[in-house]
Structure 1
Amino acid sequence: MKNTWERTELERAIIVVNEFGQPVNKKSCELTHFIGVLARSGKQCPLYKRWQKVNKSRKKDLLDIIKTKFDIRGDADKWILQSISKKDMSDKNKRNWQKRSLYPLIGKKSYAQIREELKIQLGREPSRVDIFERSFEKADITNNSEAVKQLEQMKELFKELPEGSLNEPGPDDIYA
């Protein structure tokens, strides 16, 4: 992150966000890593406090630091603050990540980036099945038989939906 820390306001990396405030361009990964560094730094972020107890002026200071290094095109403040708040869960996330049975092939890309790519490619909002498929398949290679099985089940269920119906996210959707 040395290059990011040394960046002046005139050299800020451009970050494009979607309608949910999630970064979606190639520099998104750099922003996410920078947020992680800030969140874990005892100097910028008080690790000894629960995020809810951190005062608003400290949160604004963190946003200001980020905005001196990144030119964020759109309103991403809520997403950034949520990302910082999640960093204190990193140990729990690591343990849960080790228990997974499905292994996505998206590398450092976020699901928001995948969604934006699919939106352009498909000319419509991608379904969660579309995003799942893109996340677990790469150049016609699927790295996990469980992912193949799940994807086949989702596609079969998707075919059974009534014409014109939407598979809205929820506890009983195809993805769940």
Structure 2
Amino acid sequence: MNGKLLGGSIVGIALVAGAALYYLQVYAFYDEVEFTPDAIRMTPVATGQPESMPAEDFEAIDADSSPLRYRACFRLPLSQPTLTETYEIYDNPEPLTAPPWFDCFDAGAVEAALESGEAMAFLGEHNVSYGVDRVIAVFNDGRAYAWHQLNDCGELDYAGNPVGEACPPREE
């Protein structure tokens, strides 16, 4: 009987620990981001310096536990042709999935729209955190989505490889 009790205790503890780990990964560390005038910024080709954008219907989440947890959904009142003439296009955008409860952000749909040309990706801000860019995908109808993505320096650095002279040193 002691073996069943011990085995049952181990399974019970594992279930509680698994549920706690799931909760911590999916819910606990995220905070809603309040809209501010600088909440959405895009980088113009002419200056290379991010500037604030007039976003509407803004919803966003972020977490201090990782620079990659930022996700945002909003609308931009500018057309894609205006944006492509003015702002930097982002090569190789890879939308990262959001927690299931943040239902305005569907990474699969955004990725499919980027591949089909229905949406275009722009550089929001380079190195918003070391090695991480903010990417903004804009649809033809003005819907827009933002996420953080590792840039070349971030991929090298976080993989433990030397970043070389092309990347700025990490600020401690």
Scaled by the length of structure 2, what TM-score is found?
0.24
Give the strand-richer structure, 1 or 2. 2
Higher relative contact order (CA 8 A, sep 6+): 1
